[in-house]
Structure 1
Amino acid sequence: MTAGNNGTNPPEGDDPFGYLYRSENGAPSAQGQQANSPRRSYNEVRAVGDRRYGQQQRPQPDQSPSPYYAAPETQPGGGQGGSGGPGRRAAGRANQEPARRNGLLIGALAVVGAVILGVGAAFAFSDSDDDKAGADPGASESADAGQDDAPDPDDGPPEEDEERPLPQENGSSLRLENGPVVAGDVEGSRAKDGSYIHGFKEGSAALWQPEIEEDGEYTVFVGYTVPGKDMSLQVSANDASPYSARFSNYAGAEEGDWAKGWTQTFAWVELKKGTNDIRIACGDKAEQCSVAMDRIWLEKGHVKK
């Protein structure tokens, strides 16, 4: 029911707003000619947007819908959405997903490779440190200990563990007194230069001064030759009484054969640490002093050979 009308039919035919289309003289307008058409029920169900007023006509199926009223899905490419729509974003994410997965895979492989390289480098440096240490855990300690045990230059030369060889001398190097001379015409001398001393007579002697490292008993050995006869000379050490040493014909040479009589004899003596005086002299019997000596040396203890 509209204002001013209590009847059942609305003014201006079907359209309750038909009076809005009347001309000034009261005749219906062209737009209001629809009023003469049969009335349709107000309760008739119509599709949304189907009703049109005036001269607007329902678009035919072959007509393209207006882009102003069409849904985005009806536009060309609408299934994919607009430039910023959900459809394009979904497609973009679909296209970007494989690239993203590839990037993540490459990154993971790079991390694993870096870890492997780091572990390998750690082992390499560890082995290098073990090679610079000599592969011996006590090497550095031994080196330090060696530095601590190094001799101090102010302490002098280190003592030798092995005993030095006892002195020995050629007869020609002895100090000769009152008559003996150096010669070398008799063959068989065991001196380095083949020489010897001879010419002992009463009151003559040969002096030897060996230097030793400790006091004790020693044996003086003398190399000599005789002309096929037994001889005898006096041997003394330091202030001790002379000892009569036998210079016998142990080689069994013929009388007068000096070259065949080379042999050796000995005398037991007591010596002191340091320099000692060993004297070999002719006694009061000159006929017992025909001896030629080539060498003299010491042995520790009282020995015979």
Structure 2
Amino acid sequence: MTPGDNGASTPEDDDPFGYLYADGQARGAQPPSGGYGYPNSVSRVRTVGERQYAQPQAPYGQQQPTVPQQGAYGQSNAHYQAPETLPGGAQTSRQPMSPAGGGGRRGPNTKGLLIGAIAVVAAVVIGIGVAMINGNTDDDKSGNQADASPAQSQSTGPSPSNSASAPAGELPKTDAAALQLAGSAAKASDVKGAQAAGGTYVGGLNSVGSSVTWTVDNVPEGGAYTLLARFNNPGDDQSMTLTVNGQKFGKGFNLGNFTHQSDPTQAWTETYAYPTLNKGSNTISLSCQPGDKCNVLLDQLWLKKGKVGRS
């Protein structure tokens, strides 16, 4: 065999793509007449959508079975049967949809947000109130702070007790209207100028048996004291019996008209005596006895240590 033309039976003459090359075309290679460029292939022209795949072939002499066509999208196929409808098919159950307030995804909890907002506002208000209270407390401390102890109201009327005591280091003083009264002695306030509480004094002493009695407690020590009395006498000189701890003292308690006034409102004055008192409790009485002149008004009584005379 010589190089060059080896004849029509060479392998390259069997090349199905020889017509693509210049030397093949020179030798007269032609495109294959089969389909798709392959020898002996069959090209059949079909309408688009006509071709069917994987169709079972019926035996020779039998009619090709008809494959049911698939229904349009969204339409049920009459030949389709759900698995659960077949004997032994899968059992399925449809789960009910949860309501909006139940399981699954929930909407925003507006109630919780509202409660939270109210709590924040309440906390702010409480904080402001506490700050204001603390500020007022500081102002009270830095300014004129009021006395924490309540003020005690003083009685304007006479005390019902017939005893008297004074603070430590002081001797007692009392209104005559607060003492124990006997006989026709009575409280009055018609004549102005009395220094007792409410301007009340004791009158009605100008009758035998009338008296005022003073029980004095806490006399610091026994000895001589000065008993003073504020009274009113616009007329003749008067005198009453002084009794100390049940014993008559002296010749009488002098209640003269020392002011020399006939106007009762201008006749208020003082008198005194020097009784001897015991340590502790003592009873002092002024009474109208037979032979006494008792037409006076009695305002107040008080004691002083020793013999000191009038105020």
Same fold per superposition (TM over 0.5):
no
TM-score by length of 1: 0.44
TM-score by length of 2: 0.44
Higher helix share: 1
